[in-house]
Amino acid sequence: MSDAWRSIGIGCVATLAIVVGCGPSVSDTGYVGTWRRSFGEQARSEVAFWKTPDGTYRFRANRFGADGTHELRCGAEGPCLEYGKEPEPFYEYHYRAFERPGETGLFVDCEGRPHGTHEATPLQQVERFVLAPGGLVLEVRLVEQNHVVPGREVVRARFNKVSNDPFE
């Protein structure tokens, strides 16, 4: 290999290293940020937490099915709407994030009900979100569903932090 080609190759590797290193960095900002888990190429779930000026936490969630026929869409200010194959939403959720004195994690109360003329069972559940050591993995545990407390908390899902920005 000639010196000219070797110089070009080294320059490309250096440029690639700089570009890769310039991506958005994530750090341990506590619960604040956007978290994601994926199920194959298209399907994914996201949750985000942020703090309001008064110090309380807010929460949103989004879910996208692999075939594009199932979505849960939430903006910064609810409600969250769940869609299936029909263009109209079939379920509506309202979330409330809160802390419990003396307990670790953030808690999210979810109230769901059928939307429009759809018939479905209303849902009420409380989940606990706990940071794993290092602050870049968020574990979700069911605390209560439809006013029934399970025998013990089990990790239901793990989300990886993808951004310090909760609105990304």
What long-range pairs does 73-79 form, CB within 8 A, spacing at least 24? 76/167
pLDDT for 14 equals: 37
Which residue blocks in 25-168 are alpha helix, DSSP H? none
User: pLDDT of 29-51, one tens digit each?
Assistant: 999 999 999 887 778 999 999 99
pLDDT-flagged residues of the chain (< 50): 1, 4-22
pLDDT for 53 equals: 96
Among residues 114, 155, 124, 129, which one has the least CA distance to residue 59?
Answer: 129
Domains of the chain: 29-163 (2.40.128)
pLDDT for 24 equals: 60
Strand 57-64 to 71-73 pairing: antiparallel
Buried b / exposed e along 57-70 (16+ C-beta atoms within 10 A): bbbbbbbbbeeeee
d(CA 77, CA 68): 24
Buried b / exposed e along 121-158 (16+ C-beta atoms within 10 A): eeeebbbbbbbeeeebebbbbbbeeeeeeeeebeeeee
For residue 154, the one-letter residue type is: V
d(CA 109, CA 78): 13
pLDDT for 168 equals: 82
